[in-house]
A and B are shown apart, each in its own frame.
Chain A
């Protein structure tokens, strides 16, 4: 149940704050440490608020072979943000993500969660 509840809360609030995690622990009568443990274990649970827009770069094998690293460096420069810094510039953040299975179109960008085909610089 815990993972489903965390998914729901993240969908409602955008991320899982300390208060949210504490509330989940009370609701499910679980030790706060266990709730935090699960929330911090999985990559897709965000413990910090996300920026309004997010640019994801797939780092699956096919995407890496077709220039994902160069694409990430290029986006870092263009957006003026550091890779995998959830704060970004307050509007945009840049994250590397694990394979989304659209390998045939590599390299793949995700703009606000929507996959887009692109070309490496």
Chain B
């Protein structure tokens, strides 16, 4: 966190949806009213709305920057407003830390949850006012874009991203530089870029946090990608469930347009027009061909690949589709250089990753750590494990990763370093980075049924294995959960799941059985104990 200039005190209030749900709006109103009523001399403290301050479970959060020291307070309500203002205005006293009225609200900034973070994507999220372009520019927004336009050719930018080893953060982990080359090397003609913000995996909220906290970083990343592949037009697709993210992004796009930042008058005369597209509630639109169908205004129905969107996308043009986090990683990556980025984390999967932690842990919220950090570090050391959990695994039964297309990793695998390849080998997937921690009260068949019912409800209906198969699988899991399934039913369940996995058209159906397979692999006992006992004549 950047400290404020010594004279003025800065109150950074987390104004993201999480803290808003916890009451940040009422607190903001109280603080604004209190600041207005101040009569004492000197520069008044400034209230600044910022993006996610990470530790959502202690929301609403407020960071007080004074005398170069930043103190974080949590669990606030308008009742604490007078004490906060007294701290912020207190002159000649040491930096604001101790106050009886705020004793229970101080959040220790040195605890592992904050200390082990390595913010790159989120480096200015929580510092910058997401509604203020000038503040974003003061924090370095669009500087990398301008530098690259002035000094690098598109091929050089692509080479740098290839060297960085960055892999797509949407879940597939495809090398970003390679995708860019594919689009750039298509026959001459117009190209398009698309930012995929259809973050539908339950448990994932990193893209929402980026959009709500630092929208200009995403726009800069998208513009860099457009320059690198030769696109002049682009779309940012955001799911309609994120109204605040949409509002902030819309405002940021207006600001960029009004200021002419991407109008092509500056260095390199590169003109780029990004447009916002809002979804309407369909999980399948996270799949890239369904996403394109939705941007074109139709039903979000995927199509057979190849041709891949990189060859033939929107309107038949080569189209680059990158996840929000991938694009938001670019400004920091290009500032430090490809080689420095490649040195972070495992060589096969370098960089940092933003994880959203929820479920049965003490500290829930957003963390950014180097790839390859162990699950234990993230969910136990940083997030604190299960409340009142005991034992070396902190009461954790499993960690659910990757949402409905991912799986569950048992506590015995907590020492696994998180990256795309390792998790895939273990029968799960990293997905977009949602980590839901499960304690011992969680029954795996119930969880598998929940995900299967989700997929059945979200299947677009185009291909039979997914449309009919997920419904049958959800039914069988229902029977199993209710203790009405036999061992033969379990076998049928697995067979059918294999068919759905192998024969579905798109990722939704192909990965729908993943939670089932991974929980069967690691928690078979949970299933077996639900089976009907054999009748005497069967044994």
Identify the A interface with B (CB < 8 A): 1-4, 6-7, 34, 37-38, 41-45, 59-62, 64-66, 97-106, 108, 113, 115-117
Q: From B16, which residue of chain A is reached at the shortest CB distance?
A: A102
Choose one: A2, A44, A61; the contact of B202 (CB below 8 Å): A61
CB distance B356 to A61 under 8 Å? no
Q: A42-B280, A65-B360 are in contact. Are A101 and B297 (CB under 8 A)?
A: no
Q: A101-B17, A108-B21 are in contact. List 16 more A-B contacts (CB 8 A).
A: A41-B282, A41-B300, A41-B460, A42-B299, A43-B281, A43-B282, A61-B450, A65-B438, A99-B203, A101-B208, A103-B434, A104-B18, A104-B364, A106-B364, A116-B21, A117-B21
B400 within 8 A of A: yes
Please indicate the chain A residues that have their CB under 8 angstroms from the CB of B356 in the complex: 101, 103-104
CB distance B56 to A42 under 8 Å? no
The docked-state distance in angstroms from the alpha carbon of A100 to that of B357 is: 14
Please indicate the chain B residues that have their CB under 8 angstroms from the CB of A66 in the complex: 359
Please indicate the chain B residues that have their CB under 8 angstroms from the CB of A3 in the complex: 277-280, 294, 297
Choose one: B281, B451, B454; the contact of A42 (CB below 8 Å): B281
B201, B241, B282, B460: which has the most chain A beta carbons within 10 Å?
Answer: B241
Bitwise interface map of B from 49 to 76 toward A, beta carbon under 8 Å scored 1, else 0: 0000000110100000000000000000
Bitwise interface map of B from 445 to 467 toward A, beta carbon under 8 Å scored 1, else 0: 00100110010000010000000
B478 within 8 A of A: no
Please indicate the chain A residues that have their CB under 8 angstroms from the CB of B1 in the complex: none
Distance in Å from the Cβ of B259 to the closest Cβ of chain A? 24
Q: Which 6 A-B pairs have the closest CB atoms?
A: A104-B56, A42-B280, A101-B205, A43-B281, A44-B281, A60-B202
Q: From B58, which residue of chain A is reached at the shortest CB distance?
A: A104
CB distance A101 to B199 under 8 Å? yes
B199, B242, B299: which has the most chain A beta carbons within 10 Å?
Answer: B299
The docked-state distance in angstroms from the alpha carbon of A6 to that of B205 is: 26
CB distance B205 to A38 under 8 Å? no
Please indicate the chain B residues that have their CB under 8 angstroms from the CB of A2 in the complex: 297-298
CB distance A43 to B280 under 8 Å? yes
CB distance B280 to A6 under 8 Å? yes
Q: A2-B298, A3-B297 are in contact. Are A105 and B241 (CB under 8 A)?
A: no
The docked-state distance in angstroms from the alpha carbon of A37 to that of B22 is: 38
B283, B297, B442: which has the most chain A beta carbons within 10 Å?
Answer: B297
Please indicate the chain A residues that have their CB under 8 angstroms from the CB of B17 in the complex: 100-102, 115
Distance in Å from the Cβ of A10 to the closest Cβ of chain B? 9
Distance in Å from the Cβ of B354 to the closest Cβ of chain A? 13
Please indicate the chain A residues that have their CB under 8 angstroms from the CB of B200 in the complex: 98-99
Please indicate the chain A residues that have their CB under 8 angstroms from the CB of B364 in the complex: 62, 103-106
Please indicate the chain A residues that have their CB under 8 angstroms from the CB of B438 in the complex: 65
Bitwise interface map of B from 121 to 132 toward A, beta carbon under 8 Å scored 1, else 0: 000000000000
CB distance B278 to A7 under 8 Å? yes
The docked-state distance in angstroms from the alpha carbon of A9 to that of B179 is: 38
CB distance A101 to B21 under 8 Å? no
CB distance A65 to B240 under 8 Å? no
Distance in Å from the Cβ of B335 to the closest Cβ of chain A? 28
A interface secondary structure, majority: mixed
Please indicate the chain B residues that have their CB under 8 angstroms from the CB of A65 in the complex: 359-360, 436, 438, 442
Identify the B interface with A (CB < 8 A): 17-18, 20-22, 56-57, 59, 199-205, 208, 240-243, 277-283, 294, 297-300, 356-360, 364-366, 400, 403, 434, 436, 438, 442, 447, 450-451, 454, 460
The docked-state distance in angstroms from the alpha carbon of A66 to that of B358 is: 10
The docked-state distance in angstroms from the alpha carbon of A97 to that of B239 is: 13
CB distance B203 to A61 under 8 Å? yes
Please indicate the chain A residues that have their CB under 8 angstroms from the CB of B434 in the complex: 61, 103
Q: From A68, which residue of chain B is reached at the shortest CB distance?
A: B450
Q: A3-B280, A41-B300, A44-B240 are in contact. Are A115 and B21 (CB under 8 A)?
A: yes
Please indicate the chain A residues that have their CB under 8 angstroms from the CB of B299 in the complex: 37-38, 41-42
CB distance A105 to B57 under 8 Å? yes
Choose one: B203, B242, B460; the contact of A103 (CB below 8 Å): B203
Distance in Å from the Cβ of B427 to the closest Cβ of chain A? 18
Choose one: A37, A45, A103; the contact of B358 (CB below 8 Å): A103
CB distance A106 to B282 under 8 Å? no
Choose one: B22, B202, B365; the contact of A117 (CB below 8 Å): B22
The docked-state distance in angstroms from the alpha carbon of A104 to that of B17 is: 11
Distance in Å from the Cβ of B296 to the closest Cβ of chain A? 9
Please indicate the chain B residues that have their CB under 8 angstroms from the CB of A117 in the complex: 21-22
The docked-state distance in angstroms from the alpha carbon of A88 to that of B75 is: 35
Please indicate the chain B residues that have their CB under 8 angstroms from the CB of A38 in the complex: 297-299
Q: A64-B450, A65-B436, A106-B358 are in contact. Are A101 and B242 (CB under 8 A)?
A: yes
- Interchain Cβ contacts under 8 Å between A and B, 12 examples: A41-B300, A43-B281, A44-B240, A59-B202, A61-B358, A61-B434, A61-B451, A62-B202, A99-B241, A100-B242, A104-B356, A117-B22
Q: From A116, which residue of chain B is reached at the shortest CB distance?
A: B21
CB distance B283 to A98 under 8 Å? yes
Q: A44-B280, A65-B436 are in contact. Are A102 and B21 (CB under 8 A)?
A: yes
Distance in Å from the Cβ of A59 to the closest Cβ of chain B? 8
Please indicate the chain A residues that have their CB under 8 angstroms from the CB of B21 in the complex: 102, 105, 108, 115-117
